Structures are given as structure tokens and as C-alpha cells.
A = this chain, B = another copy of it.
Amino acid sequence: MKACVLYSGGKDSSLMAFILNKLGYDVELVTVNYGIYPSWKPAAESASNLNFNHRVMNADSDTMRSAVQTILSDGFPNNGINQLHKYALELVAKEYDVVADGTRRDDRIPKLNMNEVRSFEDRNNVEYINLGGFGHKSMNHLSKTLFEVKKELTNMDNNSDYEIEIRTLISEIEGDSAALKIFPEHLQSRVIGWRKNE
């Protein structure tokens, strides 16, 4: 059975892909792009290094514009990111019977609550799977044993999170310093390959 994992090239979505593959699903990694900036490229590279199929699915840029309006009016990114994540899930659910992402037990954003999960599965007739059984301790340990990871400051060309397109649009609308206020500089971990002969 085909399973789609919403994919950023990070440790969490990479672990989700690994687990689903071991469970026998035919895994495809999908990065949703909102037409603002080709931020899917690092994810495509990580996917290729892990030998998974990767697809870019294009979403309407109005979705990103609306999320950015939410973020600018909130002054913080959480609700806007959740909007984008839900849109991405609905988009891929039109094409896959199994939809997964790298949301962990201790993640707060992006995350569906229990009612949203039930509604998402029922309306779309899909299985929804995430990493809700794993916390950050297990994640750190597993990522070390499974993946080669590169730690670096996030920039426009090494990150496929929603953040990059959001930041680009905020910079266009309100300038770079507004974007930097919403997303301060930070370290990120990107998966660049398997650790052993996986």
C-alpha cells in the first residue's frame, strides 16, 4: 500500500519514512510547495540520499498568503504553520490512502488534536500516522543510530520547512527584519544520509 510522508529532510519525517518502509508500506516522500520559493530542494536531496522517492506537490500561493496574514496579525508563527500543515495534509490525502508526518509526542506545532485526526481520517478515508509514540529522547537516540545529520544555521537553501516560504513572503511584505523577528536565526539538523548500510 502506498504511503505518503510529508517530508522536510529533517530527522522526524525521515524516521517516519524509515518506520513505514519497514512496516511494508510503499513510501513516497512529498514536500508541499506554496509557489513562493523553491524550498523543497534540500528535502529532495535528503530523500535522494536515503533512496526514497520524492515528489513536490504544488499548493495555491493564496494558502501561504493567508497563513502569513495570520502570523503577522498573531505576531508568532504557530497558528499560521498549523494552517499550512492542515492544508498540506488535505492536499496529499486526495492522492494517498496512507498519510503520515513526523509529528512527535512532544511537538506542539504543527499538530492535529484528536478530533482533527478523526475528522481527517474519516472525511478523506485515509490512515493518518505520525510519531506520536516517540519523545525527544528516543528521537535523539534513534537519529544518531540511523542517520548522518548535518547541523548548521538555517538559511534559504538548506531547509525545507514551512518557515522558508513564510519568511520569504514576510520579507516581501514587511521587510527582512520583520521576518527575522518571527523566525530568529537558529540551528537545524538536516538528514544527509544513512548512518550505516541501511
Contact = CB atoms under 8 A, between A and B. Distances in A.
Nearest to A126: B137
A134 interface: yes
Contacts of A129: 133-135, 138
Interface string A127-154: 1111111110110011001100000000
A184 interface: no
Given A19-B23, A24-B145, A98 B134 contact: no
A114 B133 CA distance: 11
A22 interface: yes
For this complex, into which size category does the number of interface residues on chain A fall?
Answer: 20 to 34
Contacts of A16: 133
A103 B141 CA distance: 21
25 contacts: A1-B141, A16-B133, A19-B22, A19-B23, A22-B23, A23-B146, A24-B142, A24-B145, A24-B146, A98-B138, A105-B114, A105-B117, A121-B135, A127-B137, A127-B138, A127-B141, A128-B135, A129-B133, A129-B134, A129-B135, A129-B138, A130-B133, A131-B133, A133-B133, A133-B134
Interface of A: 1, 16, 18-19, 22-24, 98, 103, 105-106, 114, 117, 121, 127-135, 137-138, 141-142, 145-146
Given A129-B134, A132-B132, 16 more contacts: A16-B133, A19-B19, A19-B22, A19-B23, A23-B142, A24-B145, A103-B133, A105-B114, A105-B132, A117-B135, A121-B137, A127-B138, A129-B135, A130-B133, A132-B133, A133-B133
